[in-house]
Chains A and B, each alone.
Chain A
Amino acid sequence: RKEVEQDPGPFNVPEGATVAFNCTYSNSASQSFFWYRQDCRKEPKLLMSVYSSGNEDGRFTAQLNRASQYISLLIRDSKLSDSATYLCVVNVGTGNQFYFGTGTSLTVIP
Protein backbone atom coordinates (compact mmCIF):
# COMPACT_ATOMS: atom_id res chain seq x y z
CA ARG A 1 0.00 0.00 0.00
CA LYS A 2 1.29 3.45 -0.88
CA GLU A 3 2.11 5.81 1.95
CA VAL A 4 0.12 8.60 0.33
CA GLU A 5 -2.71 8.34 -2.16
CA GLN A 6 -4.48 11.14 -3.94
CA ASP A 7 -7.52 11.60 -6.12
CA PRO A 8 -6.25 10.75 -9.61
CA GLY A 9 -7.98 13.63 -11.37
CA PRO A 10 -7.85 15.35 -13.71
CA PHE A 11 -10.24 17.99 -12.46
CA ASN A 12 -11.56 20.40 -15.06
CA VAL A 13 -13.59 23.21 -13.51
CA PRO A 14 -14.93 26.56 -14.71
CA GLU A 15 -13.61 29.82 -13.37
CA GLY A 16 -15.22 30.73 -10.08
CA ALA A 17 -15.97 27.16 -9.10
CA THR A 18 -15.09 25.54 -5.81
CA VAL A 19 -13.01 22.37 -6.01
CA ALA A 20 -11.76 19.99 -3.35
CA PHE A 21 -8.96 17.45 -3.36
CA ASN A 22 -8.50 14.64 -0.89
CA CYS A 23 -5.43 12.72 0.10
CA THR A 24 -5.17 9.68 2.36
CA TYR A 25 -2.11 8.49 4.22
CA SER A 26 -1.41 5.05 5.61
CA ASN A 27 0.89 5.68 8.57
CA SER A 28 -0.88 6.83 11.70
CA ALA A 29 2.47 8.11 13.04
CA SER A 30 2.58 10.78 10.35
CA GLN A 31 3.40 14.11 11.91
CA SER A 32 3.41 16.86 9.32
CA PHE A 33 1.33 17.48 6.27
CA PHE A 34 1.66 19.80 3.33
CA TRP A 35 0.15 20.74 0.01
CA TYR A 36 2.50 21.63 -2.80
CA ARG A 37 1.73 23.08 -6.17
CA GLN A 38 3.63 22.06 -9.28
CA ASP A 39 3.30 23.84 -12.60
CA CYS A 40 4.07 22.01 -15.82
CA ARG A 41 7.79 21.31 -16.14
CA LYS A 42 8.56 23.26 -12.97
CA GLU A 43 9.61 22.38 -9.47
CA PRO A 44 7.08 21.80 -6.67
CA LYS A 45 6.45 24.83 -4.49
CA LEU A 46 5.01 24.84 -1.01
CA LEU A 47 1.40 25.97 -1.09
CA MET A 48 0.55 25.52 2.55
CA SER A 49 1.14 23.42 5.61
CA VAL A 50 -1.82 21.60 7.10
CA TYR A 51 -2.46 22.07 10.79
CA SER A 52 -4.53 19.90 13.07
CA SER A 53 -7.12 22.61 13.56
CA GLY A 54 -7.36 23.33 9.85
CA ASN A 55 -6.05 26.48 8.25
CA GLU A 56 -6.94 28.96 5.59
CA ASP A 57 -4.89 31.12 3.27
CA GLY A 58 -7.05 33.36 1.14
CA ARG A 59 -9.08 31.16 -1.19
CA PHE A 60 -7.36 28.00 0.01
CA THR A 61 -8.43 25.91 2.99
CA ALA A 62 -6.60 22.84 4.23
CA GLN A 63 -7.97 20.36 6.72
CA LEU A 64 -6.62 17.33 8.52
CA ASN A 65 -8.63 14.39 9.81
CA ARG A 66 -6.32 12.21 11.88
CA ALA A 67 -9.02 9.70 12.79
CA SER A 68 -9.68 8.90 9.13
CA GLN A 69 -6.13 9.66 8.04
CA TYR A 70 -6.82 12.09 5.28
CA ILE A 71 -6.12 15.68 4.41
CA SER A 72 -8.03 17.90 2.07
CA LEU A 73 -7.51 21.07 0.08
CA LEU A 74 -10.41 23.31 -0.86
CA ILE A 75 -10.02 26.02 -3.48
CA ARG A 76 -12.78 28.62 -3.69
CA ASP A 77 -13.44 31.00 -6.58
CA SER A 78 -11.03 29.18 -8.89
CA LYS A 79 -8.80 31.29 -11.11
CA LEU A 80 -7.16 30.37 -14.39
CA SER A 81 -3.83 30.72 -12.58
CA ASP A 82 -4.80 27.90 -10.21
CA SER A 83 -4.31 25.40 -13.05
CA ALA A 84 -1.50 23.13 -11.87
CA THR A 85 -0.83 19.78 -10.25
CA TYR A 86 -1.38 19.66 -6.49
CA LEU A 87 0.81 17.32 -4.47
CA CYS A 88 -0.02 15.98 -1.06
CA VAL A 89 3.04 15.46 1.16
CA VAL A 90 3.27 13.61 4.44
CA ASN A 91 6.16 13.51 6.88
CA VAL A 92 6.47 10.33 8.93
CA GLY A 93 8.17 9.49 12.17
CA THR A 94 11.56 11.08 12.81
CA GLY A 95 11.04 13.58 10.04
CA ASN A 96 13.58 12.54 7.48
CA GLN A 97 11.11 10.74 5.26
CA PHE A 98 8.68 12.79 3.25
CA TYR A 99 6.23 10.90 1.10
CA PHE A 100 4.66 12.52 -1.92
CA GLY A 101 1.41 11.66 -3.55
CA THR A 102 1.36 11.32 -7.33
CA GLY A 103 -0.53 14.58 -7.66
CA THR A 104 -3.93 15.76 -8.80
CA SER A 105 -4.16 17.78 -11.97
CA LEU A 106 -6.44 20.82 -11.98
CA THR A 107 -7.41 22.79 -15.07
CA VAL A 108 -9.53 25.89 -14.62
CA ILE A 109 -11.49 26.65 -17.77
CA PRO A 110 -12.50 30.18 -18.84
Chain B
Amino acid sequence: NAGVTQTPKFQVLKTGQSMTLQCAQDMNHEYMSWYRQDPGMGLRLIHYSVGAGITDQGEVPNGYNVSRSTTEDFPLRLLSAAPSQTSVYFCASSNGRTGGYYGYTFGSGTRLTVV
Protein backbone atom coordinates (compact mmCIF):
# COMPACT_ATOMS: atom_id res chain seq x y z
CA ASN B 1 0.00 0.00 0.00
CA ALA B 2 1.17 3.51 -0.78
CA GLY B 3 -0.35 4.96 2.41
CA VAL B 4 -0.84 8.73 2.18
CA THR B 5 0.44 10.37 -1.00
CA GLN B 6 0.95 14.11 -1.25
CA THR B 7 1.81 16.10 -4.33
CA PRO B 8 3.71 18.21 -5.12
CA LYS B 9 6.67 17.81 -2.77
CA PHE B 10 7.91 21.34 -3.41
CA GLN B 11 6.19 24.45 -4.74
CA VAL B 12 7.05 28.11 -5.14
CA LEU B 13 4.15 30.52 -5.62
CA LYS B 14 3.91 34.20 -6.18
CA THR B 15 1.75 36.25 -3.87
CA GLY B 16 -1.85 36.15 -5.04
CA GLN B 17 -1.58 32.91 -6.97
CA SER B 18 -3.84 29.98 -6.17
CA MET B 19 -3.03 26.31 -6.13
CA THR B 20 -4.22 22.94 -4.89
CA LEU B 21 -2.21 20.56 -2.76
CA GLN B 22 -3.24 17.01 -3.47
CA CYS B 23 -3.65 14.26 -0.88
CA ALA B 24 -4.76 10.69 -1.48
CA GLN B 25 -4.86 7.65 0.79
CA ASP B 26 -5.47 4.04 -0.13
CA MET B 27 -6.16 2.67 3.36
CA ASN B 28 -9.92 3.37 3.34
CA HIS B 29 -9.49 5.74 6.27
CA GLU B 30 -12.51 7.81 7.19
CA TYR B 31 -10.65 10.62 8.89
CA MET B 32 -8.33 12.94 6.98
CA SER B 33 -6.76 16.22 7.93
CA TRP B 34 -4.36 18.93 6.83
CA TYR B 35 -1.70 20.42 9.06
CA ARG B 36 0.90 23.08 8.58
CA GLN B 37 4.22 23.01 10.41
CA ASP B 38 6.17 26.14 11.16
CA PRO B 39 9.34 26.53 13.23
CA GLY B 40 8.55 26.93 16.92
CA MET B 41 4.81 26.48 16.32
CA GLY B 42 4.39 22.75 16.06
CA LEU B 43 1.79 21.24 13.77
CA ARG B 44 -1.44 23.19 13.52
CA LEU B 45 -4.69 21.81 12.15
CA ILE B 46 -6.06 23.63 9.10
CA HIS B 47 -9.10 21.54 8.07
CA TYR B 48 -10.28 18.02 8.65
CA SER B 49 -12.88 15.58 7.37
CA VAL B 50 -14.58 12.67 9.09
CA GLY B 51 -15.86 11.18 5.85
CA ALA B 52 -16.82 11.87 2.25
CA GLY B 53 -18.91 15.01 1.99
CA ILE B 54 -18.05 16.22 5.52
CA THR B 55 -15.41 18.82 6.31
CA ASP B 56 -14.76 21.16 9.20
CA GLN B 57 -12.35 23.90 10.20
CA GLY B 58 -9.40 23.42 12.44
CA GLU B 59 -7.24 25.90 14.28
CA VAL B 60 -5.94 27.94 11.30
CA PRO B 61 -8.44 27.66 8.40
CA ASN B 62 -8.25 31.19 6.96
CA GLY B 63 -7.02 31.31 3.38
CA TYR B 64 -7.64 27.61 2.74
CA ASN B 65 -10.51 25.55 1.36
CA VAL B 66 -11.05 21.81 1.31
CA SER B 67 -13.49 19.33 -0.12
CA ARG B 68 -13.97 15.60 0.30
CA SER B 69 -15.85 14.14 -2.63
CA THR B 70 -14.41 10.65 -2.16
CA THR B 71 -13.01 8.68 0.76
CA GLU B 72 -9.59 8.60 -0.88
CA ASP B 73 -8.96 12.25 -1.77
CA PHE B 74 -8.74 15.39 0.34
CA PRO B 75 -7.29 18.33 -1.61
CA LEU B 76 -6.30 21.61 0.04
CA ARG B 77 -6.79 24.80 -1.93
CA LEU B 78 -4.92 28.01 -1.33
CA LEU B 79 -7.19 30.74 -2.60
CA SER B 80 -4.76 33.66 -2.88
CA ALA B 81 -1.30 32.80 -1.62
CA ALA B 82 0.38 35.06 0.93
CA PRO B 83 3.94 34.96 2.30
CA SER B 84 2.47 33.95 5.69
CA GLN B 85 1.42 30.67 4.09
CA THR B 86 5.03 29.67 3.51
CA SER B 87 5.20 26.44 5.46
CA VAL B 88 5.42 22.69 5.30
CA TYR B 89 2.02 21.11 4.77
CA PHE B 90 1.17 17.61 5.91
CA CYS B 91 -1.86 15.56 5.07
CA ALA B 92 -2.76 12.81 7.52
CA SER B 93 -5.34 10.07 7.77
CA SER B 94 -6.56 7.76 10.47
CA ASN B 95 -8.56 4.59 10.83
CA GLY B 96 -11.72 5.14 12.76
CA ARG B 97 -14.09 8.06 12.92
CA THR B 98 -12.17 9.91 15.56
CA GLY B 99 -8.71 8.50 15.10
CA GLY B 100 -8.47 8.85 18.82
CA TYR B 101 -7.01 5.45 19.47
CA TYR B 102 -5.10 4.76 16.33
CA GLY B 103 -3.00 7.82 15.66
CA TYR B 104 -2.26 9.28 12.28
CA THR B 105 -0.47 8.21 9.12
CA PHE B 106 1.15 11.24 7.54
CA GLY B 107 2.04 12.00 3.96
CA SER B 108 5.60 13.05 3.18
CA GLY B 109 4.72 16.74 3.10
CA THR B 110 4.66 19.66 0.69
CA ARG B 111 7.20 22.44 1.15
CA LEU B 112 5.53 25.63 -0.02
CA THR B 113 7.26 28.97 -0.45
CA VAL B 114 5.27 32.08 -1.28
CA VAL B 115 7.33 34.98 -2.61
Q: Which residues of A does B touch, CB under 8 Å?
A: 4, 31-32, 34, 36, 42-46, 49, 87, 89, 91, 94-98, 100-103
Contact = CB atoms under 8 A, between A and B. Distances in A.
A54 B44 CA distance: 27
Nearest to B49: A96
B48 interface: yes
Contacts, number: 55
Contacts of B33: 98
Interface of B: 31, 33, 35, 40-45, 48, 50, 56, 58, 90, 97-101, 103-109
B109 A96 contact: no
B90 A98 contact: no
Contact of B104 (A95, A98, A101): A98
A42 B90 CA distance: 10
A71 B97 CA distance: 24
